[in-house]
Amino acid sequence: MGFLDIRNATKAYGSVQVLHEVDITVEEGEFLVLVGPSGCGKSTLLNMIAGLEDITSGEISIKGQPMNGVHPSKRNIAMVFQSYALYPNMTVGQNITFGLEMHGVPKTKRDQAMADVAKLLQIEPLLARKPGQLSGGQRQRVAMGRALVRNPDVFLFDEPLSNLDAKLRVDMRTEIKKLHQKLGTTIVYVTHDQIEAMTLSTRIAVMNGGYVQQLGTPKEIYDNPANLFVATFMGSPSMNLIDVTLRVEGNSVFADTTDAKGARISLPINASVNGLDGKNAILGLRPEALTDVDGSDARATQIAHVPNEVTVTEPAGSDTFVTTSFGGKDCVARMRADADAKPGERVTFAFNMDKAVLFDPETEARIA
């Protein structure tokens, strides 16, 4: 049993099922990120943990205590909302201590707690201001202060950074991560930004259509996606997907496809040979596993060199993204900045086949 247990939790609005049997166990001090496209049920799940939405069936417990039917204020959780939800009529100080006041904490203790939090978040000069007189980043900080001051068991964040501009978002992301490392609190964090999910989390739950598609560490999710959805949702630029036909030759498996000219090419696959012969599949390969020859991973056990025609190059400073075509689909390779690739020319691409994954085109499930 973990610190926060979600067992078989479902949610239905009338006949519409928006969450299907969610099972997640979060250990103390973990940073769990719920990530997925808009409308997949992330906020609904978070609100169910908070007690703002009823659980249709299943159970949610915190520290072993079942929370079904327990009022939000009695769950010892704190939540940071997307809009920050600061009370507009109160000062920053009052905003931070409102929850303590409602829980009957005496004034001297409240002031002490407020001072501590204000110091931690460096918002001391703002305490007398109203939320309307703060910048977006400052509001964000105050909203976190309001959550921190209660010293809760679990922090819930619902897309806390999505209202900030790009630069500030990165800064605040780092700050949240620092805060987590410093305080070691348990956090459940909702976002639809996969970079936020990768950078912040200790574990990620990728959701789609009300289902948890995969639950795992960022590395597991990135390197070993359970299905095509997870593979394409996580990572930017997204994973290359090449239509291939599998061919078994003795003890080896090959994935056959075509290059830009339509000529047949063959890529060696690390997979058991059982039942794969003649099967159509989708081969997934992240852009950084498709490089120029000099840039390929020296520790890889299986590198395939395939010459192909370059269609577009996009220098991005540190790397150059090179587009070509395999199996009739555009593929992006991540080459060194000074790699020799020009549109229209033939270049040798290095496939790091250790990193290749295979999906069934019908079920979209992982084959190998």
Point out which residues bind ligand ATP (CB under 6 A): 13, 16, 18, 36, 38-44, 192
Sort strands 303-309 and 264-269 into parallel, antiparallel or unpaired. unpaired
Q: Which of 357, 361, 305, 300 is nearest to 333 (CA)?
A: 305
CA 195 → CA 58, 148, 203, 246, distances in Å?
31, 24, 13, 33
We find the least distance from the C-beta atom of residue 322 to other proteins, in angstroms, to be 45
Report the partner that residue 347 touches, choosing among ligand ATP, Mg ion, other proteins, none (CB closer than 5 to 8 A by kind).
Answer: none
Among 43, 240, 291, 296, binds Mg ion (CB under 5 A): 43
Specify the stretch interacting with other proteins by CB under 8 A; choose among 72-80, 161-169, 175-183, 245-253.
72-80
Nearer to ligand ATP, 44 or 320 (CB): 44
- 108: helix, coil or strand? helix
Nearer to Mg ion, 192 or 334 (CB): 192
Nearer to other proteins, 34 or 142 (CB): 142
Nearer to other proteins, 134 or 335 (CB): 134
44 binds Mg ion (CB under 5 A): no
Site for Mg ion in 263-302 (CB under 5 A): none
- 324: helix, coil or strand? strand
191 binds Mg ion (CB under 5 A): no
Cis previous bond, 343, omega within 30: no
Q: In what order do the strands lie in the sheet with 319-326?
A: 312-315, 319-326, 329-336
Instruction: Count other C-beta atoms under 10 Å from residue 316's C-beta.
Output: 10
Report the partner that residue 83 touches, choosing among Mg ion, ligand ATP, other proteins, none (CB closer than 5 to 8 A by kind).
Answer: other proteins
Instruction: Count other C-beta atoms under 10 Å from residue 358's C-beta.
Output: 19
What residues make contact with other proteins under the rule CB under 8 A?
Answer: 47, 50-52, 71-73, 77-79, 81-83, 85, 87-89, 98-99, 102-103, 146
